[in-house]
Amino acid sequence: MVRQVKRAFRYRFYPTDEQAAELSRTFGCVRLVYNKALEERTRAWYGEQRRISYMESSAALTEWKKTGELAFLGEVSSVPLQQALRHLQTAFTSFFAKRAQYPRYKSRKRSRASAEYTRSAFTWREGELTLAKMSGPLDIRWSRPLPQGAEPSTVTVSRDAAGRWFVSLLCEDTVTEAPATGAAVGIDAGITSLVTLSTGEKIANPRHERRDRARLARAQRQLSRKAKGSANREKARRKVARVHARIADRRRDFLHKLTTRLVRENQTVVIEDLAVRNLLKNGRLARAISDASWTELRFMLEYKCAWYGRELVVIDRWFPSSKLCGACGTVAARMPLNVRVWTCECGAVHDRDVNAARNVLAAGLAAAACGDGVRPQRESSRTGQSSMKQETQRATAGTPRP
């Protein structure tokens, strides 16, 4: 089966000094418009219990451009500014629907510098991209070709903390479903082993952040010695950002290869629903959990399964996968964190992680057959924990704080 999907193709590009200055101004204006519109909406909501629509914000933007202090907003393309208002509208829609928290202001230092251009604000001709307010095309490094005959509908330009420039082209792409296979796999995520499969295979955690921790610490020490506001401090900050970018790139590459392999080899993939945000509140675990990047792993599995005709089943996070005997179904009353191999009353000997992955698979297949998620009775927070919480605590127990 062939389906059409919206797919973003991201490339690095090298702007001229003129283009870099224009884009930097656009980034600043986008952030200003977003924050100012958020301020107006907040005042109206908390002061008058009144909601401001996108059309009202757009009309206000027109009035802002007519004032003396904000007249510079008219010097950049209007499309990225309008897109910022649309993004704010989407954020408020999600907030009122209780799908997200209240929108936050964009910080000049911490927020991602980006601008989105729709079809009316760029020219695509013979494989060259020219943005509004620019005289020449962007110098893009085409690391992979676009789909045959595809034209971008939206272009997003961004600059990361390391000073690298990227352009993301949203295009229609044709995706062919992978050949059907009867295989199914259960996945138990962890830190020592990034994932343990129901087949018994354990995939080691590359620990990308730990591998570059000494280099990162050295760069951060050099940054701390530089005077604030100096050119040398900016150079040192870029050096720290490059180390972080290197870690993130390697982690993303590894997760793409892992998830692509899992989706190609299996018709059904079963995972646990992890409360990663709650786990990150533990200071001793946050660094290791962030390095494992379980949320990114699940996100990749979700869209790749949807693209290639696979089934992704997510079971309840409180399912006692580690303490459940896969042979007789007995749930152990207690499972200390240092127990990695345990013997059930029936005599079955289990590897903790492999047993958990097999139990996850069995629960997922049962849920898929019933057409519903697995919702077993939730364990008491005083007597039990999810297998993921136990795994993360075990992996970091006895280690010094990062």
- Mean per-residue pLDDT, 250-266: 95
Residue 337: per-residue pLDDT: 62
- Mean per-residue pLDDT, 72-79: 96
Classify 292 as helix, strand or coil: helix
Classify 241 as helix, strand or coil: helix
In terms of C-beta density within 10 A (0-12 exposed, 13-18 middle, 19 or more buried), how is residue 222 classed? middle
Token duo for residue 28: 């600043």
Mean pLDDT estimate for the chain? 88
Residue 65: per-residue pLDDT: 95
Residue 270 phi/psi, 5° resolution?
-120, 130
pLDDT at 14 over 80: yes
Between 163-172, 296-305, 330-339, the lowest mean confidence (pLDDT) is in 330-339
CA angle 32, 34, 35 (to 5 degrees): 65
Among the listed residues 350, 326, 327, 324, the one whose alpha carbon sits nearest the alpha carbon of residue 339: 350
Residues involved in catalysis:
188, 272, 353
Which of 8 and 372 is assigned the larger pLDDT? Answer: 8
Between 30-34, 47-51, 199-203, the lowest mean confidence (pLDDT) is in 47-51
331 close to 315: Cβ distance less than 8 angstroms? no
Percentage of residues in the chain having pLDDT higher than 90: 65
- Please tell me the pTM assigned to this model: 0.83
Residue 358: per-residue pLDDT: 92
Which band of pLDDT confidence, cut at 50, 70 and 90, is reported for residue 201? very high
Q: How far apart are CA 142 and CA 372, in angstroms?
A: 44
DSSP-assigned beta bridge partners for residue 343: 349
Rg of the chain, C-alpha, whole Å: 25
pLDDT at 188 over 70: yes
Percentage of residues in the chain having pLDDT higher than 70: 92
Contacts of 12 (CB under 8 A, 6+ apart): 140, 141, 143, 164, 165, 166, 167
Residue 297: per-residue pLDDT: 94
pLDDT at 232 over 70: yes
Residue 372: per-residue pLDDT: 60
What type of residue sits at position 186?
A: G
Q: How far apart are CA 38 and CA 105, in angstroms?
A: 7
Which of 155 and 356 is assigned the larger pLDDT? Answer: 155
Residue 190: per-residue pLDDT: 85
Decide the pairing of beta strands 268-272 and 184-189. Answer: parallel
Residue 351: per-residue pLDDT: 86
Residue 132: per-residue pLDDT: 96
